[in-house]
Amino acid sequence: MQDEPKNENEVTNESAAVQDAVAAVAEKPRNPNMKWYIIHSYSGFERKVKESLESRVHAFGLEDKIGRVLIPTESVTEVRGGKKYTIERMFYPGYVLVEMDMDDHVWHVVKSTPRVTGFVGTGQQPTPLSEEEVQHIVYKAGESKDKPKLKVKFEKNETVRITEGPFATFTGIVDDVNDDRETLKVMVTIFGRSTPVELEFKQVEKQAS
């Protein structure tokens, strides 16, 4: 399922939701025995699972046994037709985080929630997240909020136009792509010579074919 581009207000609301989620993980639960667990869900139904689970918590009166439900997301900037769109994308599709004081009844209520396929853990025993793992998720969500990833695919030998820096307005040929660092090596003709220039994804744009 393709992510739909959001308008500016929707993006602002989504970013606020991410900030709330980060704050939610960081704050202490009402029940000190609660730990964070990961549940599997059908991909594409994570938000439905979150809504269903929160409704079941109220229906079964389990507010003291099941706390917050979190879908970790990241901000991603896409370039389409020369325009940038920011969307919120799940960085763990098919997974939902739930804060619980685990016992057999709580396990059954969560496991029987529609579109939940099970818990992450060894064998039949769900394994809670460590404090380090929880903090990693918080950090990743917070970092994404501050610096959205740029989602654009560049390929070797394609022509790009440089939009920022000392070589702005130059065109060049992509020689190498580093998706992890979000950088390109572009061969630019300077004074009649082909010269390699390293640029960030955000500093170039695809040439219209």
Query: At 56, is the pLDDT very low, low, confident or very high (cuts 50, 70, 90)?
Result: very high
Question: For residue 149, what pLDDT is reported?
Answer: 59
Question: Is the pTM value of this prediction over 0.75?
Answer: no
- Calpha distance 87→74 (Å, rounded): 8
Find the mean pLDDT for residues 139-165: 74
- What proportion of the chain, given as a percentage, has pLDDT over 90? 33
Q: What does the block give as tokens for 209?
A: 């074919």
CB contact set of 146 (below 8 Å; sequence gap of 6+):
none
Q: Which band of pLDDT confidence, cut at 50, 70 and 90, is reported for residue 167?
A: confident
Same fold: 8-151 with 159-206: no
Buried b (16+ CB within 10 A) or exposed e, 16-26: eebeebbebbe
Average pLDDT for the chain: 79
Residue range 193-200: mean pLDDT, rounded: 88
The predicted structure's pLDDT at residue 191:
78
164 and 203 Cβ atoms separated by less than 8 Å: yes
Domain boundaries, the chain: 8-151, 159-206
pLDDT tens for residues 4-47?
455 545 444 545 555 555 555 555 556 788 999 999 999 889 99
DSSP calls for 52-95: HHHHHHHHTT-TTTEEEEE--EEEEEEEETTEEEEEEEESSTTE
What topology does CATH give the domain 8-151? Alpha-Beta Plaits (3.30.70)
Candidate CATH numbers 3.40.250.10, 2.30.30.30, 3.40.50.10420, 3.30.70.1060; the one for domain 159-206 = 2.30.30.30
In this structure, what token pair is assigned to residue 190? Answer: 């300077």
Q: Average pLDDT, stretch 71-86?
A: 72
Q: What number is the average pLDDT over the span 147-160? A: 76
Q: For residue 164, what is the DSSP state?
A: S
- Per-residue pLDDT band at 207 (split at 50, 70, 90): confident
